[in-house]
Amino acid sequence: MARTAFVAAAAIVALLADPPASWAVATVPEVISNLRNWIVGILAGLATLFLTFGGVRYLMAGGDPGEVEGAKRALKSAAIGYGLAILAPVLLTVLKSIVGAG
């Protein structure tokens, strides 16, 4: 076990000492664009998770008012998540203009 950890650490050190050419330094607009893509992906994924959870919870509520309200809260959270995913590119465009990157 210790030998495997040593080999993994040695491989990481060797990779960091001589990084591949594909690890080029990114410009600020590239970083912001990558950040936007990650934010949109994470928000859309979480919103889809909440939409699924809320839908299943609503179907399984069986008329229980407490469960129905919980399902509605989850569906509202999904709607907010999708809204933020839609607004993320706009917010990062504003960020670009504030930073002066484009």
Residue 64 in 3-state DSSP? coil
How does residue 68 score in pLDDT terms, banded at 50, 70 and 90? very high
Token match 């950040």: residue? 35
Residues 30 and 65 sit within 8 Å (Cβ to Cβ):
no
Segment 12-52, tens digit of pLDDT? 666 566 656 556 667 877 887 788 788 888 888 888 998 99
Distance CA 40, CA 46 (A): 10
Contacts of 58 (CB under 8 A, 6+ apart): 68, 71, 72, 75
Residues 13 and 5 sit within 8 Å (Cβ to Cβ):
no
